[in-house]
């Protein structure tokens, strides 16, 4: 069954009047019912009491040119048709009271008539889906046309998915926004990229609090700052970015730091203090490690989020601050709530938009692009371009991607590691000896779990990735074997030293060299390799 075509619009008090020779001039409300390719089954016409006679005349004229069109009049009283707030409220009420039947009817909103304010309001209400309609724009016939003509009509569909060029532009803007949040790093972890895409959409469309969860060093502070920069670039905020680590707020000073105090509020309060919340007015307040806040501060923060007002210490009058909150934590706030250490109502308020940033060890495919980012950042800060030679880069990445690399402080570890190697890079090149020293330093930093001498022997031969695949038993046995080999001049001599007991127990000749050669081949090693790459020589 074909749907009925319904048009909703204002009566045009000027264009529709046509007092003299009304059939000899173009009248948009009448003209929209004169098109053979636009059959209007019903016209819902909005007007006030002062134009009832004009509405009646237009209705009669429509009946002449389009008998099948039913015209329904709707009273819409506007004291000032150029007052945006009044017009929007009136049309919003009309849309809410209107009975839409989208299964049986298609709707067009006629924006040719009415004030510019009315046209803007129609657009906003349609774009926000208060009106399940498309916009209808009419244009008059060309000048000099002696025969009365209805002109032309055009439908504006606000479903941007229909417009490939526009949709692709919006998609490009989303990609650009997500890349901005990642500082331009071409990250490869699919889950992380999906999270950033979601954060970009929320940051642009919502003023509600955001909760960034993840281990220390996962990038929460940097991401919060990038969210601020993104919103500022889109002219969504005018204030400042105010960041504070809640772990540094202790005792009575915590309330004063956050909410400010009045002069004389306590001993030593010689002057008033505005506080961090007021400093973040019209901007973003980033509370890192929010789980460290005490119960009183949590209660005050909740009130400030919901009411945009709070009471400074010692004050008897509230102050206002329209900030957006971004909170960071490395704790599981759900468990903190269960343990009674965090307010359940505050957690519920923060948990509307919560995102978890994985640690670097969970995003090993992103280590390489972040390595390049850290090199660029070092170049910007130090004014010197630093790069790896090929062998050094391969060795460092092999270790960085292996299970031996704990990355306990996440990107802070990686950034510090790159800074150290760049500092030692005489001539602007990071070499294998520099990488070897840095790997040993990182192993010690992470608790010495792989700092044993056998790994120092094996890493230059096998590489970090292959070494990580070996059990401790195999590493110890292979390292001891190579140490013996390096103390002897030939494969046979090394074999005799290694297999002396078993050779003595056997009757007949034995080939110790062949036995040793086969053992080494299990690890893709041969005699020249282990003799050439000495443990005490640079790798």
Question: d(Cα 515, Cα 81) in Å, to the nearest integer?
Answer: 99
Q: Decide if 299 contacts 252 (C-beta within 8 A).
A: no
Nearest to 366 by CA among 240, 111, 186, 113: 186
Name the most confidently modeled range: 78-87, 182-191, 266-275, 444-453. 78-87
**What's the average model confidence in pLDDT over 509-520?**
87
Nearest to 320 by CA among 352, 287, 358, 278: 278
Token representation of residue 119: 């046209």
Please return the burial class of 302, using the count of CB atoms within 10 Å of its CB with bins 0-12, 13-18 and 19+.
middle
Scored b (16 or more CB within 10 A) or e, 230-266 reads bbbeeeebebbbbbbebeebeeeebbbbbbbbbeebe
Question: d(Cα 385, Cα 362) in Å, to the nearest integer?
Answer: 29
Residue 467: per-residue pLDDT: 77
- The residues, ordered by sequence, that sit 6+ positions from 82 with a Cβ below 8 Å of its Cβ are 115, 117
Name which of 20-24, 304-308, 459-463, 521-525 the model is least confident about.
20-24
Residue 450: per-residue pLDDT: 42
pLDDT in tens, 455-506: 677 878 887 767 777 777 888 889 889 988 888 888 998 988 898 888 777 7
Residue 166: per-residue pLDDT: 57
Give the chain's radius of gyration (CA, Å).
37
Residue 49 DSSP label: G
**What's the average model confidence in pLDDT over 7-13?**
93
Q: Decide if 30 contacts 9 (C-beta within 8 A).
A: no
**What's the average model confidence in pLDDT over 16-42?**
84
Question: d(Cα 66, Cα 59) in Å, to the nearest integer?
Answer: 10
Residue 349: per-residue pLDDT: 93
β-pairing verdict for 134-139 and 429-430 = unpaired
Residue 537: per-residue pLDDT: 37
> Which has the higher per-residue pLDDT, 240 or 449?
240
Question: d(Cα 120, Cα 391) in Å, to the nearest integer?
Answer: 63
Q: Which residue has the tokens 């009058």?
A: 317
Residue 9: per-residue pLDDT: 94
Q: Residue 228: pLDDT above 90? A: yes
Domains in the chain, CATH or no CATH each: 4-158 (3.40.50.10770), 169-356 (3.40.50.300), 361-451 (1.10.8.60), 471-539 (no CATH)
**What's the average model confidence in pLDDT over 516-520?**
92
């Amino acid at each position: 069954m074909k749907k009925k075509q319904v048009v909703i619009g204002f009566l045009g008090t000027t264009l529709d009047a046509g007092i003299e020779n009304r059939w000899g001039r173009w009248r948009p409300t009448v003209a929209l019912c004169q098109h053979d390719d636009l059959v209007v089954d019903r016209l819902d016409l909005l007007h006030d009491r002062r134009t009832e006679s004009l509405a009646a005349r237009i209705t009669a004229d429509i009946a002449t040119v389009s008998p099948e069109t039913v015209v329904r009049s709707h009273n819409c009283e506007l004291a000032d048709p150029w007052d945006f707030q009044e017009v929007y409220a009136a049309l919003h009420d009309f849309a809410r009271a209107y009975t839409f039947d989208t299964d049986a009817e298609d709707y067009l909103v006629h924006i040719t008539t009415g004030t510019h304010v009315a046209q803007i309001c129609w657009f906003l209400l349609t774009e926000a889906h208060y009106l399940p309609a498309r916009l209808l724009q009419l244009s008059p016939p060309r000048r000099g046309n002696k025969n009365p003509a209805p002109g032309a009509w055009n439908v504006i569909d606000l479903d941007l998915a229909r417009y490939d060029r526009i949709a692709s532009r919006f998609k490009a803007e989303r990609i650009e926004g997500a890349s901005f949040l990642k500082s331009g790093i071409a990250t490869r972890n699919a889950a992380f990229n999906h999270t950033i895409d979601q954060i970009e959409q929320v940051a642009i469309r919502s003023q509600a609090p955001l909760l960034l969860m993840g281990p220390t060093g996962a990038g929460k502070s940097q991401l919060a700052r990038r969210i601020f920069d993104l919103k500022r670039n889109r002219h969504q905020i005018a204030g400042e970015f105010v960041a504070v680590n809640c772990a540094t707020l202790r005792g009575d000073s915590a309330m004063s730091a956050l909410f400010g105090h009045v002069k004389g509020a306590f001993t030593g309060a010689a002057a008033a203090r505005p506080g961090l919340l007021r400093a973040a007015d019209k901007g973003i307040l980033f509370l890192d490690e929010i789980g460290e806040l005490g119960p009183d501060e949590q209660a005050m923060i909740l009130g400030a989020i919901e009411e945009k007002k709070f009471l400074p210490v010692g004050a008897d009058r509230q102050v206002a601050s329209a900030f957006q909150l971004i909170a960071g934590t490395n704790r599981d706030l759900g468990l903190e709530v269960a343990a009674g250490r965090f307010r359940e109502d505050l957690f519920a308020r923060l948990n509307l938009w919560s995102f978890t940033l994985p640690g670097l060890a969970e995003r090993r495919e992103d280590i390489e692009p972040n390595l390049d980012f850290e090199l660029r950042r070092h170049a910007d800060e130090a004014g010197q371009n630093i790069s790896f030679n090929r062998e050094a880069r391969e060795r460092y990445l092999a270790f960085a991607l292996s299970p031996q690399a704990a990355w306990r402080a996440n990107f802070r570890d990686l950034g510090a590691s790159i800074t150290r190697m760049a500092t030692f890079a005489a001539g602007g090149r990071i070499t294998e000896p520099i990488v070897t020293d840095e790997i040993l330093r990182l192993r010690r930093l992470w608790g010495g779990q792989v700092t044993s001498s056998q790994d120092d022997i094996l890493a230059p031969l096998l590489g970090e990735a292959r070494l990580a695949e070996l059990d401790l038993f195999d590493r110890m046995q292979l390292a001891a074997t190579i140490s013996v080999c390096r103390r002897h001049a030939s494969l046979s001599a090394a074999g005799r030293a290694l297999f002396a007991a078993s050779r003595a127990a056997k009757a007949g000749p034995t080939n110790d060299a062949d036995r040793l050669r086969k053992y080494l081949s299990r690890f893709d090693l041969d005699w020249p390799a282990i003799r050439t790459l000495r443990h005490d020589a640079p790798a």
